[in-house]
A = this chain, B = another copy of it.
Amino acid sequence: MITLAHGNGGRLMRELIRDVFAKHFSADTTADAALLPRLEGETMFTTDGFIVEPLEFPGGDIGTLAVHGTVNDLAVSGATPRFLAVTCLIEEGLALATLERIAASMGRAARDCGVAIVAGDTKVLPRGKGGGLYLSVSGIGTKNPGAPPGLVSIRPGDAILVSGTLGDHGTAILLARHEFGLHGDLISDCASVVPFTTAAEAFSGLRFMRDPTRGGMATVANEISLATNRRVTLEEARLPLQEQVRGICDMLGYDPLYLACEGRVIAVIAPAQAAALLAAWRALPGGNGAAIVGAVEAGRPLVVLRTALGGERILDELEDDPLPRIC
């Protein structure tokens, strides 16, 4: 079990760092800062905090979520992720075995993504002042030649694509909590999106990419609408949703368009290249759920869901907190 003494700078902390973190990360644990190999090109820098309950869930854990989340923030910004730094805020009483499993899966996820965890810090939170484990991961990447120009480049007529099914992560976390007496075999989509962003960067008409984490697809659509001052229309019939996600959301009254994904990308692209990007994405492992789901239009700023029957429903920006705390 983790005790407050694991955070005091003394022997227990030194051994924790040596036996758990140094084993799975690439960090020189005696240094205050890591010296990086010389970086070619322009540098991008990001940070993200991670809180999730339960810490381990079907398809991942807070560690894989944190590595992929930071890698994905760099990837959708048009960067090749290179180096990560991890701060662990560990609650007193967390089982050492849990911490080691999570550190090991972070190490594996980092190696799979081709990034090195080069720096870290550990603090112990007093019992009752934490959620077991909180992580903050920062990442450094190098900007790719095909990096999308961003929100300002979006024009009316541009197509909106998503790289896979929506709401899997959010729904998997709901199920993992066993709060509603629901069970299922759904797994989180938690994964690196680098193969998808790399494929998208081959297209000159790529405008913008975002990973629909907190607030899901509907929140990214609202962000696009707000930033461009345009209408965004999503076609309900084209939205890729797993049957289990649809069923559970129907039962609980959640809208899956607001649930988090942790391994999907939304891309905005010139209409002439949308079909080719879709084909490229569908050809990737895990890309069979990719779809063209909507478009940016000339109307006033709003996000509209066009239903299968031809009706329209406005997808507002989240106001209150109608969703369960899933991340």
Task: List A residues at the B interface (Cβ < 8 Å).
Answer: 3-5, 7-12, 14, 30-36, 38-39, 42-51, 73-74, 76-77, 79, 83, 85-89, 118-123, 125-126, 128-131, 134, 136, 138-141, 143, 150-151, 210-211, 213-216, 219, 223, 227, 317-321, 323, 325
Q: Nearest Cβ in chain B — how far from A73, in angstroms? A: 4
A88 and B49 within 8 A (CB): yes
User: Are A89 and B134 neighbours in the complex by a CB distance under 8 Å?
Assistant: yes
Closest to A134 in B: B89
Q: Could you tell me if B128 and A33 are in contact, using CB atoms closer than 8 angstroms? A: no
Asked if residues A87 and B129 are in contact (CB atoms below 8 Å), the reply is no
Does B86 lie within 8 Å of A47, measured CB to CB? Answer: yes
Verify A5–B140 contact, CB threshold 8 A: no
Dominant SS at the A interface?
mixed
Provide the residues of chain B in CB contact with A10, threshold 8 Å: 215, 219, 317-319
Looking at A48, A210, A319, the one whose CB has the most chain B CB atoms below 10 A away is A48
Q: Number of copies of this chain in the oligomer?
A: 2
- In whole angstroms, how far apart are the Cα atoms of A169 and B43 in the complex? 35
**Does A73 contact B33, Cβ atoms closer than 8 Å?**
yes
Do A49 and B136 have beta carbons less than 8 Å apart?
A: yes
21 cross-chain CB contacts under 8 A:
A4-B325, A5-B321, A8-B215, A8-B318, A9-B215, A10-B219, A10-B319, A11-B319, A14-B317, A30-B151, A32-B211, A34-B44, A36-B42, A39-B39, A47-B86, A47-B120, A49-B122, A85-B138, A119-B138, A128-B128, A136-B136
- Bound-state Cα–Cα, A34 to B143, Å: 10
Choose among B44, B47, B120 the residue that contacts A87 (Cβ–Cβ < 8 A). B47
